[in-house]
Amino acid sequence: MSFKSWLLRSSVVLCISSLLCGCSAQEPVSEKDKMNSPSASMTASVSPSASSSAGTSSTSESENASTSPDDVNESGLTVEEQKKVDAGEYVAASVKHRAFNVPKPVFPESAREETLEGAEAFIRYWVDLRNYASSTGDVDDISRITAPDNDYEQDFYRDLRRWYSDREWLVGLTMKVDFEDNDFVLGEDGFYRFLVRPSVSESKYCKNVDYCASDSGDIFRGKPGVIGLYYDEGWVFGQLIGVEGINYAE
């Protein structure tokens, strides 16, 4: 059974973030609503940086030649940040620059097992890999372990690849998942379902250093969701959905 067939038999579809599929962060959306909606778009407030055309006071050549720890280079890095990058150290993204030297998650051997422990290890890895992709634009691995007909995620991965190739990046958008008590039961449709409590941090989409738009972040508000996986010579992520009957707008 395909992901979409399973989705239509499930409860409420939720976008992980409005950065993901342009949905409202105020209420769940159905698959039908998603298919009839425009393509992903930013609906957040804009916080442009200070104008670079502001006038400057007259200074001497020696003053112009001096640098301070707050000076930034073409990559938006300060002197101290550039030293860390050159040393191979991780530097988090900011409104001035993308992240550098982001550690790539390593696939855990336990995530190969078709067991409850293996499924939870895979979900943790998937979340870490999604956070990594959001920080780098490197989406090859996360795309391979996500259902190919999960339009929400696959469209987001294509956006990430395009953004980072065009000197656009994300600040934040860190996802976390806590597990509830789960049984390991294979549904008749071939999917395993796991009750979780997901959270997503506030984030910004930035283009060069001239424009940043804010995303409201977590739409789950501490409430549970359901992750669906299937096993096909290895785990594949289906979708994170809301629980029917829960109001995610409150």
148-164 per-position pLDDT tens digit: 999 999 999 999 999 99
Q: Residue 204, class by beta-carbon neighbours within 10 Å (0-12 exposed, 13-18 middle, 19+ buried)?
A: buried
Kindly report whether the global pTM for this prediction surpasses the value 0.85: no
* pLDDT band, very low/low/confident/very high, at 75 (cuts 50, 70, 90): confident
The structure tokens 């409104």 sit at: 95
What's residue 117's pLDDT? Answer: 97
C-beta separation of 31 from 8 below 8 A: yes
Residue 16's CB: how many other CB atoms inside 10 A?
Answer: 22
The structure tokens 């051997």 sit at: 109
What's residue 40's pLDDT? Answer: 28
